[in-house]
Structure 1
Amino acid sequence: MKAVARAHPLWLAYILHRISGIGLALFLPVHFWVLSLALNNAAQLDAFLTLSDLPIVKLAETGLVFLLAVHMFGGLRLMALEWLPWNAAQKTWAAAATAGAFFISIIFLMQAI
């Protein structure tokens, strides 16, 4: 019975929302550290920011934008589950939210390159 439930698209949306939350939680301390460099050590911040021109960093930023978009749309999906009546179209909305997150991250990548 569990194998059938795990194949459900909304279960996959649930997992993607959890993974994006973990990814963002792992990124947050690094983000705060870089912000602290702006306050305490401008030279070290400038040296760190030169890394942002590397293609791998641009790709990582695109992944971060994807995680942010997925997490935001996943949160909207959860709010819809709590506040709106359940219907069969929710699978379509979950797929559309993932596609929207992918679209947003690709637009970011195109502008970053």
Structure 2
Amino acid sequence: MGRLTTHVLDAAHGCPGSHIRVELYRVEGESLELITTRQTNADGRCDSPLLDGDDYRSGVYQLQFSAGDYYRGRGVVLPEPAFLDVVVLRFGISAEQDHYHVPLLISPYSYSTYRGS
């Protein structure tokens, strides 16, 4: 059975994005259903899959990463409001048997993502 994982890398400091709040939502039309809230570990990963088992099914999902809080916690002075406070990634899972890995590369002014392995 498939699973959903993520990984955050801090491009501004050249290190894993540790202790970042990550929220996963299932998107149903215009509604968001919160599935889980996690925090990345010292390696920028969550300690277990965000979604697996019976909860893992095809559909549209949204990940939200609290990047602004992370950079403020590192002592980075951000303008108010911050350019990137919460990074929102909306994506689809179509193959329930596959592993979907959604890495996030962040800095205070940019981000990049892709479907990883």
Structure 1 length normalisation: TM-score?
0.30
Give 1 or 2 for the bigger CA radius of gyration.
1
The structure richer in helix per residue is: 1
